[in-house]
Amino acid sequence: MTDTTMAGRTVLVTGASDGIGAETARVLARKGATVLVTGRSADKLRPVAQEVGTEPLVADFSRLDDVRRLAAEVGERVESLDVLMNNAGGTFAPSRTTHDGHEPNFQINHLAPYLLTHLLRPQLVAAGSSLVVNTSSIANLGGKIVLDDLDYQHRRSMEMTAYGTGKLMNILFTRGIAQRWAGDGIVSVAVHPGPAGTSFGRDSWFVGLLYRTPLRRFGTISVADGAAPLIALAERGPDPEVNGRYYSRFKVDGRENKQAGDQSLVDGLWERSAELTGLTLV
């Protein structure tokens, strides 16, 4: 029997070139969804796009102009968006600043998806009720947000702390959406998918060591298992019960950094991110 649980719904999956993003896109397409995919590698994204029946949308989240172009291209293809899966991200050496001059873990894991989500808000609203899924991580526990130093210009930047901070920001961004956009019918949830055995960490010698050795078999779960929580949330759809919450795989209210409950940080990060991306908040 054919599974058509996603029939009639339109989904955008970021970070869909490989790993859990590609797997999520494939499965949702098989379940009947119209799936758009984006990633930074045209060569890797092309076969995924062919599998789900669409054209690849290539964008590098280390360039905010790419994000703006991506949002415009999505708007040209679809009038409404039922699910936005902000899955793109990774861990990066803090010294390798982005094209826009930002610390890469901050921009790629938070600032770029923050901008994309805002630019796609009209499509999310047009769906009537929609869902934003932000891929976070248990690494949020090791993060630390300093609103006056988001780019680590006045403190030492350690790669894993910077990555954990980006994943913590995913949770705070989720809370910000839940508080501000619920009246538009937009629901948002953050999720830790688990340590999937993907190309995660390919830009980092330190983290990538695990993923490039036989140790990968002992410290990770399969790509399919990693994608499963994202797929389950997409199928559940914009359920108000999940709005603003953080899942550790399938378990609601996973372990969070204490900063995740700080309302002043939710508000401050939202406003500071708008300033850095040139957005006018309404």
Summarize pLDDT for 29-45 with one digit per residue, the tens.
999 999 999 999 999 99
What pLDDT score was predicted for residue 213?
A: 47
Indicate the pLDDT class of residue 282, thresholds 50, 70 and 90.
Answer: confident
Single out the residue of 125, 114, 120 nearest to residue 176, CA to CA. 114
Indicate the pLDDT class of residue 220, thresholds 50, 70 and 90.
Answer: confident
Task: Give the range of the structural domain holding residue 88, as residue numbers without chain letter.
Answer: 10-274
- Does 2 fall in a domain? no
Q: What percent of the chain has pLDDT over 70?
A: 91
Taking the whole predicted model, whether its pTM rises above 0.85 is answered as yes
pLDDT tens digits for 44-77? 999 999 999 999 999 999 999 999 999 999 999 9
Q: Please tell me the distance from the alpha carbon of residue 232 to that of residue 50, in angstroms, as a whole number.
A: 23
Average of per-residue pLDDT across 270-279: 98
Single out the residue of 122, 114, 115 nearest to residue 79, CA to CA. 122
- Does 203 fall in a domain? yes
C-alpha of 79 from chain center: 21
- Does 169 fall in a domain? yes
Would you please indicate which residues are annotated as catalytic (active-site) residues? 163
- Does 96 fall in a domain? yes
In terms of pLDDT, which residue wins out, 87 or 213?
87
Indicate the pLDDT class of residue 255, thresholds 50, 70 and 90.
Answer: very high
Average of per-residue pLDDT across 84-100: 96
What pLDDT score was predicted for residue 159?
A: 94
Average of per-residue pLDDT across 253-263: 97
- pLDDT of 136 > 70? The answer is yes
pLDDT tens digits for 169-191? 999 999 999 999 999 999 999 99
Q: Please tell me the distance from the alpha carbon of residue 101 to that of residue 116, in angstroms, as a whole number.
A: 18
Domain count, the chain: 1
What pLDDT score was predicted for residue 34?
A: 98
**Range name among 1-10, 38-47, 235-244 with the lowest pLDDT average:** 1-10
What pLDDT score was predicted for residue 207?
A: 52
153 DSSP assignment:
S
- pLDDT of 210 > 50? The answer is no
- Does 78 fall in a domain? yes
Provide the H-helix boundaries in 53-188: 64-77, 104-106, 112-119, 121-126, 159-181
Query: Would you state the torsion angle of the CA atoms of residues 108, 255, 192, 115, taken in this order, to the nearest 10 degrees?
Result: -30
Mean pLDDT of the chain: 93
List Cβ neighbours of 277 (8 Å cut-off, separation of 6 or more).
64, 111, 114, 115, 118
- Does 129 fall in a domain? yes
CATH number, domain at 97?
3.40.50.720
Query: Would you state the torsion angle of the CA atoms of residues 111, 194, 29, 26, taken in this order, to the nearest 10 degrees?
Result: 100
What pLDDT score was predicted for residue 203?
A: 52
In terms of pLDDT, which residue wins out, 79 or 195?
79
- pLDDT of 214 > 70? The answer is no
- pLDDT of 199 > 90? The answer is no
Q: Please tell me the distance from the alpha carbon of residue 99 to that of residue 63, in angstroms, as a whole number.
A: 6
